[in-house]
Amino acid sequence: MPTVEFAPALTRHVDCPRQQVQAQTLGAALEAAFRAAPALKAYVLDEQGAVRKHVAVFLNGDMLPRETALAQAVAAQDRVMVIQALTGG
């Protein structure tokens, strides 16, 4: 089962431990993880269900494009990490 983990910058707002979830896509993996901490969903996804602009999602250490991240297939050994991205100028 894929492992989903949220960075401390997110879990300081809503406690959500690392967890293994049953899922075939990254979007389904996140939805499964949100069941343990429903309030975390609003920090990660926007009102349309897309990854927020200030959030970065990594699959096995590779950052995924926000626009296609949720459709990405995941396998049993995969590791998903969700972090708050730094923005500014």
Range of the domain at 54: 3-84
- Answer yes or no: is pLDDT of 87 > 80: no
pTM: 0.90
**Could you tell me the CATH number of the domain that includes residue 7?**
3.10.20.30
Note the pLDDT tens digit of each residue in 17-74: 899 999 999 999 999 999 989 999 999 999 999 999 999 999 999 999 999 999 999 9
Instruction: Give me the pLDDT at residue 89, please.
Output: 55
Domain count, the chain: 1
Instruction: Give me the pLDDT at residue 40, please.
Output: 92
SS3 track for the chain: CCEEEECHHHHCCCCCCCEECCCCEHHHHHHHHHCCCHHHHHHHECCCCCECCCEEEEECCEECCCCCHHHCECCCCCEEEEEECCCCC
Query: In this structure, is residue 9 part of a structural domain?
Result: yes
